[in-house]
């Protein structure tokens, strides 16, 4: 099937939509290769809905493998969460499944499979849902959805997959960077007019650090809500599955570059062409620079922040069980590329060896330090309505310490502190990047009953076991 342009659809409360997963011919830099897509689009359709609305989705699997759809970040009914064996059976080829979605929070959410994510996401299965309040929808600003990704190509094809995850140690870092499925992303804007970007990192493993030189990001929100107080930043760091809401204002007309600019590398992701405008800049700049606070969310977050110094309710350790193959240990394993900075693996500096590690010999672990129970053998139980302070300790004494992105299904949380340092910028999230060696305390609001996954969103780590569950009892 040929690939179609990504559609942007404004959907009404209660509407029924069709979604299918199928095979398509992707094209990148003029090369054609086999892949997957939702509704023949890569990324899949962008759905715009109003906060508080609901949708019904009739999903059909036109792939030759089984799949499910997970609605990342939505606090929906457990039975529609798309987790095989836990909330539904896998949708077999030719079969369908009906999902019911609700949107209690504002932000950019996304949908992707929860079966062999390492393969299915890399081949092109993901799409976004932009949820806004009526007031936000009405704002007179240019709004764009930017989905960041990277794919690993060799001789015009995706580097082959296996019947279990390969690249299991670090995850599959790509060598072609994509924005909205394109290797050369282009955006048009107008001088002095703000552009609101909703950014998602949909890659398997790569943390992105987005930058647009000669302008600044006014950071407004994260995965599932707004900050009480916006702030300016020149970089936007997003681990796989994290999102951000930012605004930019281009003071001068001309051409700007969008970079993935990390402490160790820089890639050009796209170009922004800014048309000139006759409107005087001063007033526009001034209103853009003002950082007015939102009193209501200030109060809400302050009550959560009060937990910063209280004891945690329970703890998870993040670690690894792996015996390096003989001859592949010690410094010989690493090539000379500098890839690691601030506890984050920005690049795969040992891709050759990483490619040979599989989920058969690598087990990534999320465990209870007290009982030593781990991954799907571990279930915690909490009560609906409880706020729980959870400590994630990313151990640095394993054979390969690295960053993880912890994602909690169906419920939201705030990051209270990292390494004991209080977080001054609370915001609702469902995913958080934890550097190697770091300890992160989060406060989860368990508002939604059911059995929910807590896992690393590095697709290869997930396939290598790094997932546990929490039962939220009524
Ligand atoms: Cu984005 Cu368990 O998933
Ligand atoms: Cu991980």
Give pTM, 2 decimals: 0.97
What is the Cα–Cα distance from 391 to 140, expressed in whole angstroms?
41
Taking the CA of residue 110 as reference, the ligand 1 atom at the shortest distance is 1
pLDDT value, residue 331 = 42
Q: pLDDT of 158-175, one tens digit each? A: 999 999 999 999 999 999
Q: What CATH number has the domain spanning 8-138?
A: 2.60.40.420
Q: What's the burial of 242, exposed, middle or buried (CB within 10 Å: 0-12/13-18/19+)?
A: buried
Locate tokens 């670090």: which residue? 170
Q: Is the model's pLDDT at 333 over the cut of 60?
A: no
CB 389 within 8 A of CB 416: yes
pLDDT value, residue 327 = 53
Taking the CA of residue 112 as reference, the ligand 1 atom at the shortest distance is 1
Confidence category of residue 38, pLDDT binned at 50, 70, 90: very high
Give the DSSP H/E element, type plus range, for residue 355: helix 351-356
Give yes or no for residue 468 CB within 6 A of ligand 1: no
Indicate if 314-473 has the same CATH topology as 8-138: yes
Give yes or no for residue 461 CB within 6 A of ligand 1: no
pLDDT value, residue 337 = 64
User: Could you tell me what percent of the chain has a pLDDT over 70?
Assistant: 97
Give yes or no for residue 407 CB within 6 A of ligand 1: yes
Taking the CA of residue 409 as reference, the ligand 1 atom at the shortest distance is 2
Q: pLDDT of 234-255, one tens digit each? A: 999 999 999 999 999 999 999 9
Greater model confidence, 130 or 290: 130
Give yes or no for residue 455 CB within 6 A of ligand 1: yes
pLDDT value, residue 332 = 41
Give yes or no for residue 391 CB within 6 A of ligand 1: no
> Domain 314-473 falls in which CATH fold?
Immunoglobulin-like (2.60.40)
Looking only at the bridges linking them, the beta strands covering 217-221 and 226-233 are antiparallel
pLDDT value, residue 328 = 55
Nearest to 116 by CA among 407, 400, 358, 373: 358
Domain range annotation of the chain: 8-138, 314-473
Looking only at the bridges linking them, the beta strands covering 208-211 and 236-238 are antiparallel
Q: Is the model's pLDDT at 330 over the cut of 50?
A: no
DSSP 411-454: SEEEEEEETTEEPSS---BSEEEE-TT-EEEEEEE--S-EEEEE
Q: Which ligand is nearest to the CA of 117?
A: 1
Q: Which ligand is nearest to the CA of 170?
A: 2
How far, in Å, from the CA of 6 to the mean position of ligand 2? 30
Give yes or no for residue 409 CB within 6 A of ligand 1: yes
What is the pLDDT averaged over residues 394-417? Answer: 96
Nearest to 53 by CA among 101, 108, 98, 110: 101
What is the Cα–Cα distance from 365 to 406, expressed in whole angstroms?
12
Phi, psi of 32 (to 5 degrees): -105, 135
Q: Is the dihedral of CA 305, 237, 7, 98 positive or negative?
A: negative
Atom 1 in ligand 1: residue holding the nearest Cα: 72
Give yes or no for residue 72 CB within 6 A of ligand 1: yes
What is the Cα–Cα distance from 167 to 141, expressed in whole angstroms?
41
Cis peptide before 474 (omega within 30 of 0): no
Beta-carbon contacts of residue 70 (< 8 Å; ≥ 6 apart): 81, 82, 83, 111, 112, 113, 114, 409
Minimum mean pLDDT among 2-16, 115-129, 188-202, 346-360: which range? 346-360
How far, in Å, from the CA of 411 to the mean position of ligand 2? 20
Give yes or no for residue 456 CB within 6 A of ligand 1: no
Locate tokens 């072609």: which residue? 176
Q: Is the model's pLDDT at 297 over the cut of 70?
A: yes
Q: What's the burial of 87, exposed, middle or buried (CB within 10 Å: 0-12/13-18/19+)?
A: buried
Q: What is the largest CA-CA distance in the chain?
A: 67
Atom 3 in ligand 1: residue holding the nearest Cα: 72
Give the DSSP H/E element, type plus range, for residue 351: helix 351-356
Taking the CA of residue 72 as reference, the ligand 1 atom at the shortest distance is 1
What is the pLDDT averaged over residues 364-388? Answer: 98
Q: To 5 degrees, how large is the angle CA 236–CA 241–CA 245? A: 45
């Amino acid at each position: 099937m040929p690939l179609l342009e990504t559609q942007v659809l404004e959907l009404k409360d209660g509407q029924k939509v069709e979604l299918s997963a199928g095979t398509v011919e992707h094209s990148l830099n003029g090369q054609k290769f086999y892949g997957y897509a939702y509704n023949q689009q890569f990324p899949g359709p962008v759905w715009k809905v109003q906060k508080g609305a609901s949708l019904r989705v009739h999903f059909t699997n036109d792939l030759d493998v089984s799949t499910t759809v997970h609605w990342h970040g939505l606090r929906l009914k457990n039975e529609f969460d798309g987790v095989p064996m836990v909330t539904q059976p896998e949708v077999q080829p030719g079969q369908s499944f009906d999902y019911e979605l609700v949107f209690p929070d504002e932000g950019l959410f996304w949908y992707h499979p929860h079966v062999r994510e390492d393969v299915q996401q890399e081949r092109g299965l993901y799409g976004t849902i932009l949820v806004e309040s009526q007031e936000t929808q009405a704002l007179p600003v240019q709004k764009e959805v930017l989905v960041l990704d990277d794919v690993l190509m060799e001789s015009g094809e995706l580097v082959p997959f296996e019947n279990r995850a390969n690249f299991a140690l670090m995850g599959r870092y790509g060598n072609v960077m994509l924005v909205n499925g394109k290797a050369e992303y282009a955006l048009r804007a107008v001088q002095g007019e703000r552009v609101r970007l909703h950014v998602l990192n949909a890659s398997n493993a790569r943390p992105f650090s987005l930058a647009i030189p000669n302008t600044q990001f006014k950071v407004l929100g994260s995965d599932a809500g707004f900050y009480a107080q916006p702030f300016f930043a020149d970089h936007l760091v997003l681990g796989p599955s994290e999102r951000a809401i930012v605004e930019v204002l281009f003071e001068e007309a001309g051409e700007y570059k969008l970079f993935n600019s990390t402490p160790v590398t820089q890639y050009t992701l796209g170009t922004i062409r800014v048309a000139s405008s006759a409107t005087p800049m001063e007033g526009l700049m001034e209103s853009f620079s003002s950082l007015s606070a939102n009193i209501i969310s200030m109060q809400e977050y302050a009550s959560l922040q009060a937990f910063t110094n209280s004891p945690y309710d329970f703890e998870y350790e993040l670690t690894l069980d792996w015996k390096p193959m003989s001859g592949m240990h010690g410094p010989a394993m690493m090539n000379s590329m500098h890839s690691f900075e601030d506890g984050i693996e920005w690049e795969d500096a040992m891709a050759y060896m990483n490619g040979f590690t599989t989920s058969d010999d690598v087990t990534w672990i999320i465990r209870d330090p007290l009982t030593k129970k781990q991954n799907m053998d571990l279930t915690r139980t909490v009560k609906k309505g409880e706020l729980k302070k959870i400590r994630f300790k990313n151990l640095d004494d394993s054979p390969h310490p690295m960053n993880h992105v912890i994602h909690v299904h169906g419920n939201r949380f705030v990051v209270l502190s990292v390494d004991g340092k209080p977080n001054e910028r609370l915001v609702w999230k469902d995913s958080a990047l934890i550097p190697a060696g770091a300890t992160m305390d989060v406060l989860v609001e368990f508002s939604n009953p059911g059995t929910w996954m807590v896992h690393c969103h590095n697709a290869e780590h997930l396939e290598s076991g790094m997932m546990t569950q929490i039962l939220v009892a009524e």
